[in-house]
Amino acid sequence: MKTVLVLKGSARKDSVSSLVSDKFTESAGEKFNIKTYNAYKLNPKPCYGCGACGKEKKCINRDLDEFFADFEQADYFVISTPVYNSSVPSPLKAIVDRFQLYYAQRFEYGIKPPVAKHKKAALIISAGSNGEGREEIEKMFRRQFTVLNTALEATVFVDSTDTKPITEESLKEAREKGKIFFK
């Protein structure tokens, strides 16, 4: 059975990005094992830039060990996030920074790829305004995914959530893109 790892970046369980992510992953059906993490519940420690991941091939912080093990085994990786100041919320950004573990393996030890199992990835992004932050977030993850043996193959973007409720059309788009993604 293939595994989908979902990483939610919103503090709110009923946030637009979480609701859209749920609709997207529903398309996977029962043929997939779906494991979901919330960045706020993980409460990750930040990367200290100590260099231990380069010297010891592991992070001195052990709080994300289970998440990283699940990431390495996943076939699909879905990240949902609201836009905060043209970026992602700080707990999600801390996880992004902690992927430094794999950068060190790639660039200091020459391990190519540092994550053996290739993954398809999707981004679910919601913004309170009319599109601010989407390009920056996509660019950040595309760049990171090149090291992580992961390909960004789908993005669902919902904007203007500060001024209008989520529409059935947005949820339908998420379901349809999910069906294509999980084929």
pLDDT for 45 equals 98
Kindly report the pTM of this predicted structure. 0.96
| Span 14-30, pLDDT tens digits | 999 999 999 999 999 99
User: 50 burial class (0-12, 13-18, 19+ CB within 10 angstroms)?
Assistant: exposed
d(CA 111, CA 107): 7
Break the chain into its structural domains and give their ranges. 2-181
Q: What is the pLDDT of residue 65?
A: 96
CA distances from 131 to 29, 100, 113 (A): 30, 28, 33
Tokens of 85: 């100041």
The predicted structure's pLDDT at residue 131 = 78
CATH class of 2-181: alpha beta
Q: Residue 29: left if φ>0, alpha if ψ -120 to 50, beta else—which one?
A: left
Between 14 and 55, the higher pLDDT residue: 14
Q: Residues 178, 78: contact at Cβ < 8 Å?
A: no
Percent of the chain's residues with pLDDT above 70: 100
Detail the DSSP E strand segments found in the chain: 2-8, 32-38, 76-82, 119-126, 150-158
Which pLDDT belongs to residue 132?
A: 83
pLDDT digits (tens, 9 = 90+) for 88-143: 999 999 999 999 999 999 998 899 999 999 999 999 999 998 878 999 999 999 99
Looking at residue 95, its pLDDT comes to 98
